[in-house]
Each structure stands twice: as C-alpha cells, then as structure tokens.
Structure 1
Amino acid sequence: MVDDVWGIMKPTFQDMRSALQAQRMKVSFDTYDLTCDELTRRILKKRIDIAPEYQRQFRWDDERQSGLIESVLLGIPVPNLFMATSSTPDEAVVWEVVDGLQRSLSIVNFILEGEQREELGLKAPLCLKGLSKLPELNGCCFSDLPEDMRSIFLDRPIKVTVLNDKSDRQVRFDLFERLNTGGISLTSQEVRSCIYRGVFLDLINELSSNADFRTVVVVPKNRQSDGSLQEYVLRFFAYLNGVEGFKHSVKEFLNSFIEKGNQYDEELLDEYRDEFNRVMNYLARCFPNGLKRGGKGSTPANVFEGVSVGAAQALRVCPQLEVCSKNNWIDSKAFRGYTTSATNSLPKVKGRIAYAKEAFLNHGYIEP
C-alpha cells in the first residue's frame, strides 16, 4: 500500500501482525506465587539478588513500608515483582530484581530479626506506623504480632514474574529500561551491568578505575557511580574495534559489542587491556587537566570517542608517538562539526576519529 501524500509503502495489516508475532517470540516469562516467607528465604540464600550494582539504596520510609505491610495483611493485591534470571555456568540460577526492590526490602525488613538483618545490611527492624485500616498495629514490630497473624503474613502470596534466559538479550535490555520503576533512574550502562554479565564486562569495570583514564575523562560527581565511566570504556573498545557495525542506535551498537566481548578469550582481553592502558597513558600526558572543550566542564562522550579512538589508531601507526602538547584542535570548527548536531551517524563518527588521528600524528598541527 502506498501513502498518497509521501509516496511511501505503508505496512499492511499482515506486516503489522508479523512484526508483533516476531517480537513476542523473543520474550519468555515464567510466573510464580511466592509466599512472603519463601521470598524472604530466597533472599537470605541469595537466590534472589535484591541489590544488583545499580540498586544504590533502600529509599522507602517507615510509613510507606508500613502501608505495604498493611495491604499484604489485608490480602489486598500488591503489584507484581518483576525479576530476571542471571545464570553462570556451574552456578545456581539467581533472580535479579528489576522492578520491586522497595517492596521486596519492605517485606524482608519487617520479617527479619537479629543476625539475619546484619547479613543484608538492614538497620533497626520496621515497626509499623501510619496504618489507616489497622491502627491497632501501629508501633508493632513483626515479633509483637500474635502467632496467627504472623502466620497469615508469612503465608500471603506475592506474584513474581521472571524473565527467563530464553529471552533475546536485546529484549531483556529493553524490558529492564521499561520496567524499572524503583525510584532510581537507571542509565543504559547500569542496565547492561545486569543483562550482559561476563568477562568483558569485568574488564570494563576494572579499566574504569584506571588512574590515567580518570585523568582524561572528567564527569560530574553525580555521574561517577551511575555507570557513565564504564560506558566511556565500552565506547572506546566498540568504536575502535567494531565501528563498521554502527548504524544509528548507540544503545544497540554498544549492547551488541559487549555481548560479543563476553565471548572473547583471555588472550584477546589481555590485548584489549594493554592497548587501553597505553592509550590512556598517552592521553593523560596530552590532557593532564582532563579532556574538556575550552578547558572547562566535563568530557562529552562523542569527543572522548573521537579523541581516544583517534589516538589509538595513531599509536598503532606510530607506537613511539610524541606527546601532543598543542591541543586547541579539539575546539576547532572542523572538529566541532563532527561532534555537534546529529553526531550519531557513521560519517560523523568516522570523521571525528579520522580528524583526531591526523591531529595526533601531526602533533596538533592540522588544517582547520
């Protein structure tokens, strides 16, 4: 069917149905009813991971936690907990909480006592407050309730939906982004840290602490623990070794590269580590005050891509390359053209890398 206005082929109803069916086949879920007792035991046994790297803190106050406990006691349905499997060969399958961290912790915080609390880093036990339907329970901890009420609470079922390992990895990434509503806005790299665990991710995490890298890349304090530094490392490797696979979506490009990287052998990972360290050592000497436009602010991701990959390519050509002390080219009109406005296109990506490579090989002297 051709659109009369634009002259473009519009998808037919069958095209739409086929697209929907294809995407649905990539998603696979299992659904469980876990009692509060079973949920707590699984968390204690670490079969449910309530604190993946991206879950930075327990945020609900006592009144909000108490409201959830009251709903469970009354048998009022609470929203499903959403989890995803995370498995490693020869190790038990673990469920990671995607959506429902605060609800899970509230239940555990109410039930557990003594040393078990210390294992999970919980502070004082929750004593109920602000209850509207059961005000008689205000001020009560779990141990203060009569045994029959404790049993009622422990036996209450909580619905848990688990995205299993049959699901396509990119779909898992999309769903993490869509479903995480725990009050913490996740960055793309934090989501990758859950979906794409493996040897390459371990290397990325290791190199994000490299002292020379930290000299070169300047990020605000509020972004130093949100995966931004790890994503800069990933961008370096992806654009250096896989730029031809880049189409337009940076997320999908980086996801694809990290998934492949987790299949690399130790020898290749060592080569990656060595090259990264060499390049960052070189750049730290070129930019001792950090890679910043106009000498101010933080390091834009696309500027880092161009400069770091360009430097790596230059060092591959000339391993004994002299330190480039004339670096005003990063503020040149030509380089800005590659790093501002519609920068996520292959020509712009290749352009900024090539420009930086030429600048390093010519010791900073390059035609504007």
Structure 2
Amino acid sequence: MDVEVVFGETDEIPEEVSPSVPPVDPDEFFSKNAFRIVFQTNNFFLPQIRDLIDKGEVLNLRPEYQRRLRWNTAQKSKLIESLLLNIPVPPVFLYESDAARYEVMDGQQRLNAVKEFIAGDFALSSLTVLEPLNGIRYSRCPPRIKRALDRASLSAIVLLLESASESAGNRLSMTDIRRFIFDRLNTGGTKLNPQEIRNALNPGPLNRIIVELTRNKLFTEVFDIPAYVETDPNDYYENPQRQKNTLYASMADCQLVLRFFALKDDTNIRGSMKSMLDRAMEKELTDPDADALRQEYIDRFTFLYTLFEKKPFLLPPDEKGRERVSAAIYDSSMVAISDLWAHRTEIMADAAAVRSRMMDTAANPDLLPILTGQGNTATAVKQRIALLRGILRPE
C-alpha cells in the first residue's frame, strides 16, 4: 500500500505588517537584549567516548529521538581514517540536561561511528588514503594503529545549564537557547527536518510516548511501516527495511503522532502547521499525564481502525487503483472522534453509514480539497475537523 503524507510545514500564514517604529540605538539595544551562552570545551579520547556512551550515565545518544538516517559503513570508515590522519573533525555539541548529564545536540553520527568501531561492530571499508586498512576491525588493528586510535580525540562543546540563568532577564528558556544554537548549527551538510529538530530539542515524557506510539502494532500496519518485532530494542534502528521506509527514516511517523496532540487543542490551531507542532512539542508533561495521553491516543486510533474495517484514513484509489493513506484525513479523524468520544457507542452502531458518508465526501470534488487538507491554513484545519465530525455524527 502506498502511503500519502502531505505535511505542508513550510507554508507559513502571512502575518500583518508591523507599523513603523522609531530607530533604536544599537548600543543600547545590545546592552539590554544580548544574552550570554555559557559553555565549556572538552576533548575525549575515542575509548572514553565508548565508555561514556556504554555506561549511559553521563552521555546519552538517545537513538530513538535522534535522526534515524544512519551513516553507512563507508561514512563511518572515513571518519576513522580522518582521525588516524589527524585531520580536523568538527566538534560535537552537547547540552547539559541535568547536573553532569549530557544530551547530543549535534554530532550523533560521529559519536555513534566511534562507539561502533571501538566495539568491533564494523570493519573499515572504502578508505582511499589508508587503503591497506580496509577490512580491519579495531580489535585486530596492528599495535601502532591501535595506539594512534587510542590517542585520537573528538572535541566537544558543552552548553551548560547556567546559560538559562544568565539569560533570565531576557526571558529566554534553555529550550529557546538550544533552538537558537541548533538553528545556527543546522546550516551545512544534510539539514535536519523540523521533526528531527523537535525531537532533538524536546526530550521528556511527551517525546517518550510519541516514540512509543509510532511502534504500536496498528499504527505501523496502517502507515505501512515494518513492525517492531526485534527482541532487543537496540536492534530497532538496524532493521534495513525500516531504514528504507520514508516515514520512519524522516521521523514523519513521530510527526503524525504529534499532529493529534497539536490539533486536539483547539486554542493551538493558529498560525502555520509548523508553529502548531512546535508549540505542542514544547509542552511539559509529567510521566502520568503523558501515559494518560498515550492511552487516549491508542483508544482513538483503535476505534477508527475498527470503525473503518482496518482501513482508516484512505483517499479514493488513484488512476492505478492503489489505496493511499492521507495524513490530513488521519489527523482530522483522530481529533473529530476525540471530540465525539462520549458518542462513540452510537457512532460504532452507525458504522456502515459512517463509511458511506466518508466515501460520498471523498467523491465530492467540492469537499475533497477540504478533506485532504489542500488549504494549509488554521482555518482549513478547523474546516476539515468539522467536516469529519459531520461524517462521524451528523447533527
């Protein structure tokens, strides 16, 4: 089954032009608005990096929250070759989440490559300068090469918690500062997409349940993502079929889950879709509150899965007869049934009529653009949610 997902995050809603304001003295503006980033620089030998990651007490790679497009063996090998040749490697950026505990802001792939090579998870390949080393694993490196690797290091710039207090007068939170730095870092190479940035900057209970929900059996079935059947969760990220899946690799699966939490709050439906999702992701929750939301999501998704006979959120078949799943129908259906949750028994009793109304709406050329979210505005979002409420339970 082909999955059609239209996110439209880059389409911003025009804002009113601000009236002209008198010129501001640059020196005075700087003195009142500049904020100070507090950081320290450390150098870690490669074996130290492995130990810090393996212990998990100081440095957390959090693979479930980071970019899922992993470096291949050739890319990892090039990094090891650069370290052996003493070629300068860009520093990794960490931020202090709790006292003496650090999360990766930028450099996950470099750290992961070092950890895996030292652990013997791959042999060097595709080297051009040190070509005779191709095929060698760390444990079998000749003594001189192993000593060179053990002396090699990566530098790390650590954003400290004091940055938030230093900026208190400007009302900048640690998240604001991390987002500012992240934006400046995310200018070269392969840029992270908006959801990858949200996941990197917003650890916590909400992020945890979003990742958990993407692994739900019904969710992976509906959105055609390879099921999570591995015994060891660490193997989730090594599944070659899952890595080839566009939704998984781009973290669009996480964004799909987030869309429900963002749009179920009517007061949050304002501005662009990107801003709605950003605000929702920054919401701080306790673990019990997050677990309650997780169950709420599962209940609504399961209900719609049953209501539409295991094929919810479908667009009309294309010219080749292929079934496609629509993100817009998904999020509006989820929000609509949540709004009508008190009437779920009568809606299920009327299931055949609900499915018929959905087919009629999808076949209507005037209503289909509303149903599929072709208008990327807050008004269009509210319109399609209202349309789905009418399909589920006509007034």
TM-score, normalised to structure 1's length?
0.71
Change in 2 beyond 3 A, CA 1:20/1:144: farther
Q: Please give the residue correspondences for 1:1-368 in structure 2 after superposition, counting only pairs within 5 Å.
A: 9=20, 12=23, 14=25, 18=29, 22=33, 25=35, 28-46=38-56, 47-50=58-61, 52-53=63-64, 54-56=66-68, 57-61=70-74, 64-72=78-86, 76-87=87-98, 93-96=101-104, 98-99=106-107, 101-102=109-110, 104-105=111-112, 107-108=114-115, 112=118, 117=119, 122-124=121-123, 126=124, 129-131=127-129, 143-146=141-144, 154-165=150-161, 166=164, 168-173=174-179, 175-176=181-182, 179=185, 186-214=192-220, 216-217=222-223, 221-240=245-264, 242-260=265-283, 262-264=284-286, 266=288, 268-269=289-290, 271-288=292-309, 289-295=311-317, 296-317=322-343, 319-321=345-347, 322-323=350-351, 324-326=354-356, 327-328=358-359, 329-332=361-364, 333-337=366-370, 339-343=372-376, 345-362=377-394
1:330–1:162 CA distance, 2 compared to 1 (3 A) = farther
- Name the larger-Rg structure: 1
**Residues 202-260 of structure 1: per-residue CA shift (max 9 Å, x gap):** 222333333444455467932135432222222112211x2312332333332322332
C-alpha distance 37-18 of structure 1, shift in aligned 2 (>3 A)? farther
Asked if the contact 2:47–2:150 (Cα under 8 Å) also holds between the matched residues in 1, the reply is yes
Closer, same or farther in 2 for the Cα pair 1:44/1:8, shift >3 Å?
same
Distance, in Å, in 2 between the alignment partners of 1:238 and 1:247 is 10
Going from structure 1 to structure 2, the CA distance change for 1:25 and 1:339 (only over 3 Å counts) comes to farther
Deviation, 1:297, is 5.0
User: In the TM superposition, what whole-angstrom CA distance separates every residue of 1:265-303 from its partner, at most 9, and x where no partner exists?
Assistant: 62x445434432332233113333241221445433333
8 Å Cα contact 1:84-1:164 kept in structure 2:
yes
Between stretches 179-188 and 309-318, larger displacement belongs to 179-188
**Deviation of 1:305 (Å):** 2.0
- Quote how far apart the aligned CAs of 1:353 are: 0.9
The change in CA–CA distance for 1:334 and 1:12 in structure 2 (over 3 A counts) is farther
> How far is 1:361 from its partner?
0.6
Residue type matched to 1:302 in 2? A
| Contact map agreement 2:214 2:257 (CA 8 A) in 1 | yes
Alignment CA distance shift 1:303-1:145 (3 Å): same
Change (3 A) 1:145 1:11: farther
Matched to 2:128, the amino acid is G
Q: Distance in 2 between matches of 1:311 and 1:173?
A: 34
2:170 paired residue number: none
1:250 maps to a residue whose letter is M
Partners of 2:136 and 2:275 lie apart in 1 by: 50
Counterpart amino acid of residue 293 in structure 1: L
After superposition, the C-alpha distances for 1:102-155 in whole angstroms (9 at most, x for unaligned) are 3x4555566x3xxxx15xxx134x4895327xx898898774244xx8656544
Q: TM-score, normalised to structure 2's length?
A: 0.67
SS at structure 1 position matched to 2:388: helix
In the alignment, the residues of structure 1 paired with residue 132 and residue 215 of structure 2 have an alpha-carbon distance, to the nearest angstrom, of: 52
Contact between 2:83 and 2:153, CA under 8 Å: does it hold in 1? no
Is the Cα contact below 8 Å between 1:99 and 1:179 reproduced in 2? no
Q: Distance in 2 between matches of 1:106 and 1:265?
A: 32
Matched AA of 1:94: Y
Structure 1 residues 129 and 211, CA gap change in structure 2 (3 angstroms): closer
User: How far has the Cα of 1:15 moved from its partner?
Assistant: 7.9
State the secondary structure of the residue aligned to 1:77: coil
* Bigger relative CO (Cα 8 Å, ≥ 6 apart): 2
Identity score, percent = 20
C-alpha distance in 1, partners of 2:185/2:18? 37
What amino acid is the match of 2:55?
K
